[in-house]
Structure 1
Amino acid sequence: MAPTATIETISIVRPLKVIALVCGIITAFLMVLALSSSDWLLAQGWRQGLFAHCIGDGAPKPLPFQINAEVGCHTARDEPYIMASAALCIICLFLDAFATLMTGLGLSSNDPAVKTRYYRIAVWVMTVALIAILIALILYPVFFAQELELGNRTLWEFGWAYGVGWGAAIFLFGAVVLLLCDQEEEEIYYKERTIIHAENDSRA
């Protein structure tokens, strides 16, 4: 029989896009930690986060910001900058989760046009998420400084949760850069090979 040519489709996953996917997952994890913690701002006997503030045992009186409450954690103060920062962080979390999903779908697809579409969506959504978290991280300390006179404490420190927020922003920035750097790379290759079918003689 005559030789026949077949075309094989070979999909090569770019490592930069895989790293971008991992960065997106890490960002989501860090955002959950930052949102769930009350350790954004720390002072003697006082912890403040996006959704709660906590009063420790033996906290000196008067309490910061004219708060009159018992020991324990309470709902966050009704301050516009706290609510805005919390909303922006939640937006960042959901946008990052969506962009990470788009990146994963792009990696799993074998259609070049579909891959490009998924990656483009992921880049734009992650960029918006990055802007949201940066605004929140800048907004929180700037407006807190304006009410510092009501703090009734001489020493204030940013807690680990605020640092985790910056860590999330760094990983998110890295994911955007990695997707942009590798955006034009071809991931689908076509290889042609010739197969020769041997004819077997049959005998009666």
Structure 2
Amino acid sequence: MAPTQTIETVTIVRPLKVIAFICGLIVLLLMALALGSSDWLLSDGWRQGLFSHCTEEDAGRPLPFNLPFEPGCQRARGVAYIIVSEALAICCTLLDAFATLMAGLGLRSKDTNKKYRFYRAAVYVMIVALISILIALVVYPVCFAQELEENYRQGAPDAGNRTVWEFGWGYGVGWGAAIFLFGGVILLLCDKESEEIYYKERTILHEERA
């Protein structure tokens, strides 16, 4: 019997896309820490996050913004820029979760067309998530600084006589999430999808039987 040729489809898992998937998981962890932290801005025993502000026992008095002295953590003030930053941070977390799911499905899929669609969706959603967290990270300190400046201009009655403010680790974690999101987007964009699947041709010899 004459030899026959067969074509095999070989699927390769690209390491850059695996790293992009891991970046998405890391972003979820970092965003959970950032959302739960009250250490975005702090000064003299008082600190403020997205969802709460906390007062230490030995905090300097008076507290900023005419807040009553209550040691512990309370719900964040209902100021517009805090609410907007909360919403954007939550959107970033949800979008990143969806993008990471799409990247994971792309890694698992054996169908070429589905694989490309999953990766494309992951890239677009990650870009929107990145834009969301970047806006939140810019809006929060800028609007806070404007709020303080306005109070200082009025004789600093609401600033609690605080002149030194610092960014806390919660705010830094937010920037860490943005960096990993940016890395995930770049990895998904730079890795060529066409290299994930190639076709290998081989010849099979059949022995004749008596």
**1:17 matched residue in structure 2:** 17
**2:88 matched residue in structure 1:** 88
Quote the offset at 1:109 in angstroms. 1.3
Pick one of 174, 184, 187 that aligns with 1:175: 184
Pick one of 194, 197, 203 that aligns with 1:188: 197
In the TM superposition, what are the counterparts of 1:57-136 in structure 2 within 5 Å? 57-136=57-136
* Paired residue type of 1:55: T
Quote the offset at 1:112 in angstroms. 1.8
Could you say what secondary structure the match of 2:16 adopts? helix
Quote the offset at 1:184 in angstroms. 4.3
* Paired residue type of 2:137: L
1:45-88 Cα deviation digits (max 9, x unpaired): 10111001100012121111110141111011111111110110
2-side partners of 1:59 and 1:141: how far apart? Answer: 21
Q: CA RMSD in A?
A: 1.3
In the TM superposition, what are the counterparts of 1:8-47 in structure 2 within 5 Å? 8-47=8-47
2-side partners of 1:45 and 1:187: how far apart? Answer: 54
Aligned length: 201
2-side partners of 1:47 and 1:56: how far apart? Answer: 9
Aligned identity (percent) is 67
1:139-180 Cα deviation digits (max 9, x unpaired): 000110112133221211000010010010011011111111
Could you say what secondary structure the match of 2:38 adopts? coil
| Residue ranges of structure 2 left out of the alignment (5+ in a row) | 152-157
2-side partners of 1:50 and 1:183: how far apart? Answer: 39
Quote the offset at 1:19 in angstroms. 1.2
* Paired residue type of 2:28: A
Could you say what secondary structure the match of 1:58 adopts? coil
Quote the offset at 1:5 in angstroms. 2.3
**1:151 matched residue in structure 2:** 159
Pick one of 185, 198, 202 that aligns with 2:207: 198
Whether contact under 8 Å (1:116, 1:183) holds in the other structure is no
1:92-127 Cα deviation digits (max 9, x unpaired): 000001001111111111222111111111111111
Quote the offset at 1:186 in angstroms. 2.9
Quote the offset at 1:200 in angstroms. 4.1
Whether contact under 8 Å (1:119, 1:183) holds in the other structure is no
* Paired residue type of 2:206: H
Whether contact under 8 Å (1:110, 1:188) holds in the other structure is no
Could you say what secondary structure the match of 1:54 adopts? strand
**1:6 matched residue in structure 2:** 6
* Paired residue type of 1:173: F
Whether contact under 8 Å (1:28, 1:97) holds in the other structure is yes
Whether contact under 8 Å (1:126, 1:172) holds in the other structure is yes
Give me the TM-score of the superposition, normalised by structure 1. Answer: 0.94
1-side partners of 2:67 and 2:119: how far apart? Answer: 48
1-side partners of 2:194 and 2:208: how far apart? Answer: 43
Could you say what secondary structure the match of 1:194 adopts? strand
| Residue ranges of structure 1 left out of the alignment (5+ in a row) | none
* Paired residue type of 1:161: G
1-side partners of 2:63 and 2:115: how far apart? Answer: 55
